[in-house]
Amino acid sequence: MGIKLLLSALIFLWTAAALPAEAQVLRQTTDPQSVGSTLEIHIDNEGKVIARGIEVIQLAGRTLFARSNFGRISVRWTITTSSTTEVKRRYGGFARVSDIKVGDIVSAEGDFFVSSDTLGVQAKRLTNWSLQEEAAVFSGIVDGVEPAQYRFTLKLKDGSAIKVSLTSASVIQKGSLRIVPGALVPGERILEAIGTYNFATKTLAADRVAVYQDMGLFRARNFEGVVKSIAGQTLPTSVILTVGGEELTVEVPADASVFNKKRLPVSFSRFLVGDAVRVWGARREENHATIDADIIRNLDL
């Protein structure tokens, strides 16, 4: 009870003395509720303090000078910190005292002390409500792409959506390839988008994005189609092959096996535009429309 009476008397004296002075008219530039904090002060009989919604007005090394504004009345604070003071962001991520800026809204928990003209807290824990950003990892499906803005919309598993913003330094990896934002298309699966998430704007500033790639697409297999053009009649050469409406470039190296339809060796010089051809090879990961051929068979010979 004694500390409550002392506190009441001190607050009355400090605020009454400040009424005609600057302290009376100083107004908080940030409403604590706008960053999710309440405005309250608790000091128990053992001198333990919990104060929320405090606006930082000055910094001096590891010491914060702050105030709680109740209408036109300001209660001044001196908040001391040490290397053991735990500092957290609004959503629980760890921070440092050096991350706190003038104008930030903080909560302080610790031991009460009285200075000449302020309330004091030797802080054991600080929460900076103004730090709305956290390191985060998200996964989901691309729901929309804005390549000119280096941005895309990511639909999460729970049905909600966030914006993912990129920079020229952001790494977008698809399989073993690095791609540009314009290569993303709606429906692609994002394995992970890593960066700093702003809870207020629901935007992830991404440092790295990993895009799912079905590596089975690049396994060697048969491709069968019609020759559209031939670059040269001797190996190595390349052939444009129309396969099911898709035009593929078939790179035929000097050591490729060249057969007729009976699987007997044949000269490549006998291949003509319009011939039906079967190729055994694999798509290139860096260019899906290019096939590196190991075997090429002319089904019309």
Same domain flag for 9 and 47: yes
Last residue of a domain, one of 213, 231, 259: 213
Residues 194, 237, single domain; the answer is no
Angle (nearest 5°) at CA 15 between 20 and 65: 105
Omega within 30 of 0 (cis) for the link into 181: no
Q: Are residues 28 and 73 in the same domain?
A: yes
Average pLDDT over residues 181-210: 94
Mean pLDDT, residues 26-51: 85
Other Cβ atoms within 10 Å of 271 Cβ, number: 20
Q: What's the CATH code of the domain at 231?
A: 2.40.50.140
CATH number at 59 reads 2.40.50
Contacts of 93 (CB under 8 A, 6+ apart): 131, 134, 135
Confidence at 71, pLDDT banded by 50, 70, 90: confident
Q: What is the pLDDT of residue 190?
A: 97
Domain match, 198 and 120 both: no
| Phi/psi-derived region of residue 292, left when phi > 0, alpha when psi is between -120 and 50, beta in every other case | beta
Do 123 and 20 share a structural domain? yes
Local confidence band at 26 (pLDDT 50, 70, 90 cut-offs): very low
pLDDT in tens, 78-107: 999 999 999 999 998 899 999 999 999 999
Lowest mean pLDDT among 11-15, 204-208, 240-244, 264-268: 11-15
Do 104 and 151 sit in the same domain of this protein?
no
- The pLDDT mean for the chain works out to 89
pLDDT at residue number 23: 37
CA distance linking residue 139 with residue 35, whole number of Å: 26
Report the alpha-carbon distance of residue 253 to residue 221 in Å, rounded.
17
Same domain, residue pair 160 and 192: yes
Q: Are residues 195 and 231 in the same domain?
A: no
Give the pLDDT confidence of 235-260 residue by residue, as tens digits: 999 999 999 999 999 999 999 999 99
- 161-165, 214-218, 246-250: least confidently modelled range: 214-218
Which tops the pLDDT comparison, 298 or 286?
A: 298
- Please indicate whether residue 181 or residue 165 has the higher confidence score (pLDDT): 165
pLDDT of residue 21: 36
Q: How far apart are the first and last CA of the chain?
A: 105
138 with 118, same domain? no
Band of pLDDT at residue 3, cut at 50, 70 and 90: very low
223/292 same-domain check:
yes
Spell out the residues 6+ positions from residue 199 whose beta carbon is closer than 8 angstroms to its own. Answer: 90, 91, 132, 133, 134
What is the rounded average pLDDT of the residues 154-181?
93
Q: What integer pLDDT is reported at residue 118 of this predicted model?
A: 84
User: Using one digit for the tens of pLDDT, what is the confidence trace for 258-277?
Assistant: 999 999 999 999 999 999 99
Of the residues 213, 234, 252, which one is the last residue of a structural domain?
213
For 138, the domain range is 133-213
| Count of domains forming the chain | 3
- Is 29 found in the same domain as 6? yes
pLDDT of residue 6: 44
φ and ψ at 97, to 5 degrees?
-60, -35
DSSP reduced 3-state for 190: strand
Q: Name the domain boundary from 94, 111, 128.
A: 128
Whether 156 and 205 share a structural domain: yes
